[in-house]
Amino acid sequence: MLSSETIRIIKSTVPVLEKHGTDITTRFYQLLFTNHPELLNIFNHANQSKGKQQTALANAVYAAALHIDKLEMILPVVKQIAHKHRSLGIRAEHYPIVGENLLAAIKDVLGDMATEEIMQAWAEAYGVIANAFIGVEAELYQQSEKQKGGWAGFRAFRVDKKVKESDVITSFYLVPQDREAIASFKPGQYISVKLEIPGESNTHIRQYSLSDTPGKPYYRISVKREDAILDKPTGKVSAYLHKHIDQEHILWLSVPSGEFTLDEHDSRPIVFISGGVGLTPLVSMLKTLAETNPNRAITFIHAAQNGSVHALKQEVEELASCSPQISAYWCYGKPTNLDREMNAYDKEGIIDLPWLQQVISTKEASFYFCGPVPFMRTVNSLLKKWKINANDIHYEFFGPSGSLEDAQGSELEVPIS
């Protein structure tokens, strides 16, 4: 429990963190990887190179300081991050390392402003916050290992089938090499894939949403190929999966994880809105509902550049053709001539509120959306303009989470390693 004096000191640093937060976290990662290069086997190098991780961590530190007297307010954020940490294999012994380098970064960046009093207060506060993460993650580790079909760490899976879903998205059907049972999952969850790429000095871990229903003898991930830009590591893992991983190859997976899950007890209409590869967790939710709750009204909306990059379209259309409760709509930003000839889409351009109000039968529904961050900001803004209840809005970030609010917004931002 933090003393009132420690809380006061932490609160007093909020304006400083708002101004220097990203500088502090950038310095933190420099120190962390210099002092402990082995941690490069856990962290996403692409997110580091693009500055996403630094920004996400800065926002998390800022949020922790802002709510240091009411840490229960950030408990949902803690749980979301803890799922990522469990999936990556971050353990209790990593937290003292992180704390030491974070405090050193604060001191380096703030210089004389980082008085002994401030540093002591932050050391105490970090200890409390770290213990919250350690406690939640310990429970998640126990659950993942003890559940039926569960396991510890990473388990070998064989690629049973590789299916090209579009020009940029390929599905991998993964079965356990040991042929034993596999853990179930909740629609919307993801797995971590650990790869050793020839010529790379470190292993790479990426999270991919499960795109099929639970209860199958396999896991399916549908991966978009993100081509590298210049010498940045963006797309290194997805490109390797597309080009070099084929049937019978082995991938190492963590137990399914994640907080972005379907509330299957809600009987109201549900709306799924996806952009690009963001449809993967929503397809899992859609297919599950079609099996378990066929009477629930579902609207599935997907935005893509055109038909050539639109994955899993046939699966969704087959479900919609078999059920009057499911409606599917496609919005293409730049449809091809073939798309026009085939009448393959419902709207050209971008998703806007008048069109949403036209295709969605009621606003008294649960809304789930996922896709690129600019797309999600647009959808979030449209739903708020429509005055959709905030409790009915659910979304998932791929990679380090950001805010869907503008600079004046108050929404907490969630870091993902």
Averages of pLDDT over each 10 residues, the chain, 417 residues: 91 90 90 92 67 70 83 78 90 94 94 94 91 92 95 97 97 98 97 94 93 97 78 75 97 96 88 97 97 95 97 98 97 98 97 97 95 93 96 79 44 31
385's CB contacts (< 8 A; 6+ apart) are 353
Distance CA 190, CA 208 (A): 5
Token pair belonging to 9:
């000191």
* 137 is an active site residue: yes
Binding residues: 85, 190, 206-209, 276-281, 397-400
Residue numbering of the annotated binding site for NADP(+): 276-281
Residues 299-313, buried b or exposed e (16+ Cβ, 10 A)? bbbbbbbbbebbbbb
CB within 8 A of 21, min separation 6: which ones? Answer: 58, 59, 61, 62
Question: What are the phi and psi torsion angles at 303 (to 5°)?
Answer: -110, 130
CATH for 270-396 is: 3.40.50.80
| Spatial distance between the Cα atoms of 300 and 293, rounded to a whole number of angstroms | 15
The answer as to CATH 2.40.30.10 being correct for domain 155-253 is: yes
User: Binding site for FAD, residues?
Assistant: 190, 206-209, 397-400
pLDDT, residue 220, reads 98
Q: Do domains 155-253 and 270-396 have the same CATH topology?
A: no
Class of domain 4-146: mainly alpha
Q: pLDDT tens digits for 103-142?
A: 999 999 999 999 999 999 999 999 988 998 899 999 999 9
**Which one is catalytic: 29, 62, 95, 141?**
95
- Domain positions in the chain are 4-146, 155-253, 270-396
62 an active-site residue? no
Distances 160 to 20, 104, 169, 183, 395 between C-alpha atoms, Å: 49, 47, 17, 17, 31
Sheet holding 219-224, edge to edge: 204-209, 190-195, 250-253, 155-164, 169-176, 219-224
Options 62, 137, 396, 413, the catalytic residue: 137
Give the integer Cα–Cα distance in Å for 401 and 42: 17
What is the pLDDT at residue 416? 28
**How does DSSP classify residue 248?**
T
